[in-house]
Structure 1
Amino acid sequence: MAKSSRGRVRTRPVTNIRTKSSKGSWFKWLQPGLLVKRWLFLSFVGGILIVLGLAISIKLRPVLFISRVLSTITEGIVNLLPNYISGPLAIIGGLTLLWMGHKQVLASITQVLMPDDDQQLVDKLLTHHKLHRGAKLVAIGGGTGLSNLLRGLKRYSANITAIVTVADDGGSSGRLRREHGVLPPGDIRNCLAALADEEKLVTELFQYRFQAGEGLSGHSFGNLFLTAMSEITGDLEKAISASSNVLAVRGRVLPATLEDVVLWAVLENGQYIEGESAISEANGVIRQIGCKPDHPRAVPQAVKAIAEADCIIISPGSLYTSIIPNLLIPEILEAIAQRKVPCIYVCNIMSQRGETQDYTVGDHVQALDTVAGTRLFDAVLVQKFPPSQRSLAKYQAQDSHFIELDRDYLVELNCPILLADVMKENANGSVIHDSDKLSGVLMRWYNRH
């Protein structure tokens, strides 16, 4: 690549990309599972039938004439060259012409379907085939923790269903919820961007926030896009489905419910608070959590996805405002409790002010057990090592700490532990789950089970 005088990166011409294709790429078309060879053979048989049909229709005269001509040519060649030389030469020549013809056809198709892509069509087909045969994964949660998880899982399967909380009432999502009466699109927006094929571009576009303009300032483009799609299609579920098609999403994103859910909490001091953002801002110890209405109905496709899943993952995220709200929906809670497939909970790395101050891993597990009334998962995934002192100091200034592993309490709770290094420290000292490490650990755990 080269840079222009204005500093922008210029890509190589498409012709250069095409001419540098691997010599062995042709043989990839012969690999099983692409559903290409059978159709090429069928086309060949069809061509023979057409020729035979024409010959029969005209009483075989051209066939007899052609056979005589071919016989004469064959005798001439055999007279010049022995049959053990002329025969193989003719076969090689025929195969060469056949190969060149099909190669040019496929090159033309690739040029039309993928004019600006440096990945070969056969590689894209192989990836597509592999991903669509992947495990049926269901990830449940909300916030950045869920979208970060999905970003890694999509490398292993296209059969992903993300079930997202719709309890958010702060920021741009909260404004749209109050002004337009739509369900909060923020977490759904992040999940769609994470699962999109062109993830980087879609994420930048969806995260873009307008800095000025009456009614636009503070809103993200992604939230406005989903709000407009909701009004066009009639509800958020249809809007997400339509958006997924537009963005070429690998998997699907589903809201946990289509009802207008409002979270409430009772703090240790007896204070009653309503609203997801107000609960976090109260900076108290949460003793009880619930929602209005008391028994919101789940999206049927979400319940079906859990019932048909090969593996269920409860994602990292805000414990009381991103994870637990999904479990307050009776149908989703029951579907997880009745599952017969592996289920794992990914615990947060750092505590969250206003929700989980001074919490250990065992406290997170106990909180989920209390809300569910039963154990929903087979194991809890815990970060193995703490962050650097620089990151710890940064979080300590925000009343946050590294979530300690209390083995004795987890043994008491009869909760198996999966200990792994799945952390990523950013340059600014912030700590998140590493998408690639996390998804790799989860898929290896799933394969063992």
Structure 2
Amino acid sequence: MGKNNDRNKVNYWYKWLSPGIFVKRWLITSLFGVLLTLLGLAIWVKLTPINRLIDFLIDLLNRITDVIPSYISGPLAFFIGVFLLYWGQTRTFGSITDVLQPENEQKLIDALWNRRQLTKGTKIVALGGGTGLSTLLRGIKKYSANITAVVTVADDGGSSGILRRELGVLPPGDIRNCIAALANEETLLTELFQYRFREGEGLKNHSFGNLFLTAMTDITHDLEKGIYASAKVLAITGRVLPATLDSVTLWAKYDDGSVVHGESQIPEKRQKIVDFGCLPESPKAVPSVLKAIQQAEYIILGPGSLYTSVIPNLLVPEIRDAIARSSAPKIYVCNIMTQPGETDGYTVADHIRAIDAVCGVKLFDAVLVQGRSPSPQALRIYANEYSHPVFLDREEVKKMGRRIVMGNVMSENPDNFCIRHDSTLLSKALIRWYNNNPKHRFWGEKLGF
């Protein structure tokens, strides 16, 4: 136990003196400041030449050693000085920690260390929407602060749809979820941002975050500025950007020749989608999104509903062109289960074909696939809803020139057997693949087993 405590103390001081924390330079600067202050004071009170001050100090030390031998007074003064320095610095940093983190047991140096490491993290661009993208962000923010979440703005259902129809604003729901995912989940502000009104005429089912984003957009006259202001309130890691500022309406054509308009209506048809697009046909991309993609070191698409969360971002021509030009590693996170009304009977290769059909080029060079099957109980429950695990047709995917990255990235609720991507497992798999030089790795790399 004592050895562990000693090791922790050594590690504690090592962090303070380690490169990249920007502490040593300021300690040395402070030391020089003390020396110059003493020198200036000596000159000011006319203790010149400086030899007089030195002679005074020598005389004082001689008097002390006459009373207390040097082999006692020297070490005593040294250790008292070190103790006062240690005590003063500890109390100083403790006071700062109490002010900055009154309810957090994390030490100040650990917070500084983590922050510095995150700011040096990989420049990641993640594209998607719905709950899938927010799940990814909740895990990936632990590895980098240089995250740009590009969010679809085609939602026309629920609270977002009402605000879009009544106020003419772009739907804020998916943006709100991503902002909350990148914030500190335990803060009261984040809970407030996600709070949904349960009663009240005109307020029922609206989330506070949606109303807040709508108000900020109206005040700043710009959704991007409204998102930035909202993100500052929650002190998020990274940033959230809409794919476009145009009011986009999705449409889908089915194998029976019918066409349906509206994101919320597309899954209701329950027919095979043969064509997909949006109005206007070529929405303009937000310039900040294009810049982020250009500077990206890692690009992730998904997870999320294929046609209503993932592909809508790629319907913006400038975005898909920017991704195609990027030399960064690019990976698509495939869904674990098929989605009734969108991807009934789809395999992994079918998901990729749908993306390729929209983009016209091979946009992503790898696909992350869940490797472990859900429990029999979950399979039965999902089968009743006409949903099944997405089958990995390995040979078809290989023919399409994609690497297959298999990993256990699934979370299954033991109470209701709800299947979702696990934010921690998913982010670990994605970061591990990136760190293993993904563009030169072999087929079928396995993660998490």
TM-score normalised per structure 1: 0.91
Matched, 1:436 2:421: no
Deviations 1:74-106 (A, max 9, x none): 223434555455434333322222222222222
Correspondent of 1:381 among 352, 363, 368: 368
Specify the alignment match of 2:133 in structure 1: 146
Specify the alignment match of 2:278 in structure 1: 291
Distance 1:101 1:218 in 2: 53
Specify the alignment match of 1:188 in structure 2: 175
Distance 1:218 1:82 in 2: 81
Q: Letter of the 2:416 partner, please give it.
A: N
Deviations 1:269-314 (A, max 9, x none): 1101111111111111111111111111000111111110110000
Q: SS of 1:266's equivalent? A: strand
Matched, 1:101 2:101: no
Q: SS of 2:300's equivalent? A: strand
Distance 1:189 1:166 in 2: 11
Q: Letter of the 1:95 partner, please give it.
A: V
Specify the alignment match of 2:266 in structure 1: 279
Given that 2:132 and 2:304 are in contact with CA atoms closer than 8 Å, whether structure 1 keeps it comes out as yes
Correspondent of 1:166 among 139, 147, 153: 153
CA shift, 1:62, in A, is: 9.6
Q: Structure 1 pair 400/188, CA: closer, same or farther in 2 (3 Å)?
A: same
Specify the alignment match of 2:247 in structure 1: 260
Say which is worse superposed, 56-65 or 137-146, in terms of deviation: 56-65
Specify the alignment match of 2:358 in structure 1: 371
Deviations 1:236-285 (A, max 9, x none): 11111001110010010000000000111111111011111111111111
Distance 2:186 2:268 in 1: 32
Specify the alignment match of 1:229 in structure 2: 216
Runs of 4+ in 1 over 6 A off after TM superposition: 21-24
Correspondent of 1:75 among 62, 85, 88: 62
CA RMSD of aligned residues (A): 1.9
Matched, 1:28 2:25: no
Deviations 1:350-408 (A, max 9, x none): 00011000000110011111111111111100000111111111111111111011112
Correspondent of 2:396 among 403, 409, 413: 409
Specify the alignment match of 2:441 in structure 1: none
Matched, 1:419 2:399: no
Distance 1:294 1:259 in 2: 11
Say which is worse superposed, 152-161 or 62-71, in terms of deviation: 62-71
Matched, 1:359 2:320: no
Deviations 1:418-439 (A, max 9, x none): 1111111012111001111110
Say which is worse superposed, 416-425 or 77-86, in terms of deviation: 77-86
CA shift, 1:319, in A, is: 0.5
Distance 2:37 2:66 in 1: 33
Given that 1:196 and 1:202 are in contact with CA atoms closer than 8 Å, whether structure 2 keeps it comes out as no
1:293-308 matches, within 5 Å, as 293-308=280-295
Correspondent of 1:399 among 386, 392, 398: 386
Distance 1:127 1:404 in 2: 39
Given that 2:253 and 2:260 are in contact with CA atoms closer than 8 Å, whether structure 1 keeps it comes out as yes
User: Which ranges in structure 2 are unaligned for 5 or more consecutive residues?
Assistant: 1-7, 438-449
Q: Letter of the 2:328 partner, please give it.
A: V
Distance 1:279 1:24 in 2: 56
Specify the alignment match of 2:435 in structure 1: 447
Matched, 1:131 2:118: yes
Q: SS of 2:265's equivalent? A: helix
Specify the alignment match of 1:49 in structure 2: 36
Correspondent of 2:257 among 270, 273, 278: 270
Q: Structure 1 pair 104/63, CA: closer, same or farther in 2 (3 Å)?
A: farther
Distance 2:309 2:267 in 1: 11
Say which is worse superposed, 405-414 or 299-308, in terms of deviation: 405-414
User: Which ranges in structure 1 are unaligned for 5 or more consecutive residues?
Assistant: 1-20
Say which is worse superposed, 162-171 or 44-53, in terms of deviation: 44-53
Q: Structure 1 pair 81/23, CA: closer, same or farther in 2 (3 Å)?
A: same
Given that 1:193 and 1:199 are in contact with CA atoms closer than 8 Å, whether structure 2 keeps it comes out as no
TM-score normalised per structure 2: 0.91
Given that 2:190 and 2:234 are in contact with CA atoms closer than 8 Å, whether structure 1 keeps it comes out as no
Correspondent of 2:97 among 99, 107, 110: 110
Q: Structure 1 pair 77/203, CA: closer, same or farther in 2 (3 Å)?
A: closer
Q: SS of 2:429's equivalent? A: helix
Q: SS of 2:28's equivalent? A: helix
- The alignment covers a number of residue pairs equal to 429
